Amino acid sequence: MNPLTIESELLPGDSDFDRMKSQLFERIEDTERLRTPHLVPVTRRRTPARRRKVWVSITVVAAVALGVTVIATNVVGPHAASAEAAEVLHRAASATIKSVDLTVGTGQFLKISTTEVALSFSGQEAAYEQPQAITVYMPSDKNDRWVRGHQWLAPGKAYGNAKDFIDQVWKDPHHGDLHLYQAAGGDFGGKSPNYSTEIATMPRESGPLLTYLYQHAEGSASKDEAAFTHVQNLLTTGLVPADLRSAMYDALAEIPGVYLADGQANLDGKRGVAISRKESSRPFAQQIIIDPGTGLLIGVRELSTQQWGPVPAGSIVDWTAVEASVVDKLPAGPYSAMPQAG
C-alpha cells in the first residue's frame, strides 16, 4: 500500500464533529498541562500556480520518502459550523502568545533546516518524489552575511514509467552535490521576497491583519486562497514571532473554507492539528500543521483530492518538515557562485 494514501475519509459526516471536537480539545488541554510552551521558528515552501518560490527557505516533504504512514483522524471539516473551527484556531492563538521565541545573540545565527519532497511530473505519464534539503543561516543582524545551503537528495517513490525521466534529471554526477551560497542581507539573487521587512510591519491584531492580508495577498484563484497561502508562506520563513503567529491563527479563523484535522503525522513523527483549506477549483487541499498545545508550526503539506496523472487521489503531493536552532558558526565552505535570477 502506498504509505502516502490517507487511510480514512478526509471529510467525515456532520454527525461525527461534536465527538471529534471534544477529543481535539481534550488533547490540546493535555498538551498544555504537560509541556512548557517553546517556539521554534521555521522556513517556507512553494506550490506551482499559487506560491512564489522562496529561495532562503523552502517547503514540502512527502512522508513516503521516509516510510511514514499518514492516517487522518478526528477531522473537523468544512461541513462543521464556522464557530467550531474558529474555537480551535482561537485556542491555538492563545497557546501561541505564551510561546517563547528563540533568541539569537550577537555573533550567533538562526539555523533553519528544511527538508522538502515535491512531486516532479513528466506530462501525465510519470512522476516521482524529488527531495531536497535547504539550510539557511540568518545572522543576529539581518543586514550581515547570510548563508544558504542546498542539496538535491536521492529520488523517492516513482509513479508510472518514471525511470527514463529520473535518469535524465540525474545524468549529471554532481546533481546531488551540496552547494553553499552567501549574501549580505539575505539577498540570494533577488529570488526571495523581503519577508523580514514585511513581517516587521504587519499588524499584530487579527482584524487589521486580516484586512492587510486581503489587500496585499495575490497570485491565487481567490482572495480567500491568497490570504491563506500568504500566511502559509510567512509562517514557514522562520521569522514570524509569537505575537504575529497568534494573530495569524485568529485571522485564519475568519477565512471562508478553513477546516481543521487533528492527528496528522509529519516527517519526524510529530503530530498536530492541520489547519486546512481547499479552493473549489483546485485538485488538492492545503494544510498548515501546528502543535495544538504551543501553536508551534510543525510543517506544511498538500493532499490530492483527485487523480493527478499516475498519482492517485488521497496522496500527499507536497510535504515540508522544518527545524530551527541557534548556532555560533557558519559552514566553512567552499561557497558557490550565485545562480542567475530567473
How far, CA to CA in Å, does 152 sit from each of 116, 132, 298? 10, 4, 22
Alpha-helical regions (H) of the chain? 17-34, 82-96, 163-169, 195-201, 206-216, 223-235, 242-252
Q: Are the CB atoms for 285 and 262 separated by under 8 Å?
A: no
What is the pLDDT, as a whole number, of residue 158?
95
Residue 74 has pLDDT above 80, yes or no: no
Does the N-terminal peptide bond of residue 41 adopt cis geometry, omega within 30 degrees of 0?
no
Lowest mean pLDDT among 67-71, 200-204, 236-240, 286-290: 67-71
Task: Give CA separation, 172 vs 27, 51, 158, 167, in Å.
Answer: 49, 28, 19, 9
Across 202-221, b (16+ Cβ under 10 Å) vs e yields: beeebeebbebbbeebeebe
pLDDT above 70 (res 11): no
Q: Strand, coil or helix: what is 211? A: helix
Spatial distance between the Cα atoms of 47 and 51, rounded to a whole number of angstroms: 5
Question: Tens of pLDDT along 135-150?
Answer: 999 999 988 999 999 9
Q: Which of 256, 336, 321, 215 is nearest to 85 (CA)?
A: 256
pLDDT in tens, 76-133: 344 332 566 677 788 889 988 888 888 999 999 999 998 888 999 999 999 999 999 9
Is the whole model's pTM more than 0.75, yes or no? Answer: no
Query: From the CB of residue 152, how many other CB atoms can be counted at a distance below 10 Å?
Result: 16
DSSP-derived 3-state class of residue 254: coil
Q: Which of 275, 273, 302, 306 is nearest to 286 (CA)?
A: 302
Selected residue with higher pLDDT from 3 and 183: 183
Per-residue pLDDT of 233-282, as tens digits, reads 898 887 889 999 999 999 999 999 888 766 666 656 788 888 889 888 88
- Least confident range of 35-49, 189-203, 309-323: 35-49
Largest CA distance in the chain: 59
Q: How far is the C-alpha of 75 from the C-alpha of 260, rounded, in Å? A: 6
